[in-house]
Amino acid sequence: MTDKSKTKSKFRTTIVSSVIKQIVEVKKKKDFDLILVQGAGAYPHFLTTKYRINDGFVGPKSATGFVHIKNELFKLNNFLWDECIGAGLNVCTVQPSAVIFTENGKIKSFDTRLIDSLIAMEIVPVLMGDDSIDIKKGIAVLSGDQIVAYLGHKYRADTILYVTDVDGVFDKNPKIYKDAKLIEVINKKNFRSVINSMETYSKFDVSGEMKGKLLAIVNDLSNFKVQIVSGLKPGYVKRAILGDRVGTLVVL
C-alpha cells in the first residue's frame, strides 16, 4: 500500500485499486468469505521506532506516539476503504486495538463477534497492523502477521494470501540484487536455509520485512496453504485466489 523503504510515502492508489478490482472480479465467479488485513504502512513504522513503542508505555512520550500512530493508521485505512467502496466491495474496518488485548506483545484475547457479524452480512472485515493495549507493558506493537495467524486458525482459512511489492520470496533481496532468483516453493526441507540466508535492511520496518513474515508463517501457520504474490503484477492476485501457482507457495 505504501513504500516502507521510506519514512513517509504516498498511498499507492493505482496499485491498491488494481488489487481490489481483482478481488471483486473473483468474487463474481467464486463464492468465498474474505477477511482483509492491511499493513501499517511506512509512516506508522517510522513513528513506532521513533517513539519506541516496543518498549511499552514509559510515560508521556509513549502516549504521544500511540496517538500519532493511530491517526496515521486511520488515514491509510480510509484510503483503502474509499478504493473498496469505489470498486463495489463492501467492507468495514474492525480496529484491532478495540477488540484485542495483548500480553507482552502477544495476543491474549480477541473478541471476534463483530467479524462474525460482518461475514454473516457478506461485508468484508478489514483489520490492520496496530498498536495494542498490553496488560503487561501498557502498550505494544500488534503486527498484521499476528492478526492473520490468529484469524487463519479461528476461521480455518483455505488460503492465506500475502500481497507484497515483490514477486514472492527470493534467495536474496531482489530490490538490491538483479540476479536474485524466485523461490517457488518453501517447505519443511528448505525453510531453514531460506530464513537463515535472509537479511533485513530497513531499521524502521518493525515487522521484520519478508524475513519477519516468513518466521510468522513458520511459527504460526504450518499446515496452512500460504501464498506470497506481487500486487504490482497485473492479475497475479486474481490468479492466486483462483488457485494458480504464482509467486511463492509456503507449505509446512
The rounded distance, in Å, linking the Cα atoms of 81 and 115 is 16
Query: Which residues are within 8 A (CB) of 148 and not within 5 positions of it... i.e. 6 or more apart?
Result: 37, 160, 216, 221
Q: Which of these, 32, 42, 30, 34, lies nearest to 5 by C-alpha position?
A: 42
What pTM was computed for the model?
0.91
Region 19-34: mean pLDDT is 96
Categorize the per-residue pLDDT at 45 as very low, low, confident or very high, splitting at 50, 70 and 90. Answer: confident
Categorize the per-residue pLDDT at 7 as very low, low, confident or very high, splitting at 50, 70 and 90. Answer: low
Question: Which pLDDT value is given to residue 22?
Answer: 98
Contact present, 92 and 126 (Cβ < 8 Å): yes
Q: Cα(first)–Cα(last) distance of the chain, in Å?
A: 28
pLDDT in tens, 203-212: 444 444 788 8
Contact present, 104 and 136 (Cβ < 8 Å): yes
Three-state secondary-structure class, residue 170:
strand
The rounded distance, in Å, linking the Cα atoms of 56 and 69 is 14
**pLDDT over threshold 90, residue 77:** yes
The CB-side HSE value for 22 (13 A sphere, CA atoms) comes to: 20
Percent of the chain exceeding pLDDT 70 equals: 94
Three-state secondary-structure class, residue 125:
strand
pLDDT in tens, 124-135: 999 999 999 999
Partner residues linked to 107 by β-bridges: 102
**pLDDT over threshold 70, residue 9:** no
Categorize the per-residue pLDDT at 119 as very low, low, confident or very high, splitting at 50, 70 and 90. Answer: very high
Query: Which residues are within 8 A (CB) of 226 and not within 5 positions of it... i.e. 6 or more apart?
Result: 159, 160, 161, 162, 217, 249, 250, 251
The rounded distance, in Å, linking the Cα atoms of 120 and 14 is 30
pLDDT in tens, 133-163: 999 999 999 999 999 999 999 999 999 999 9
Region 75-91: mean pLDDT is 96
CA 83 to chain centre: 17
The rounded distance, in Å, linking the Cα atoms of 140 and 131 is 6
Q: Which of these, 112, 129, 146, 123, lies nearest to 34 by C-alpha position?
A: 123
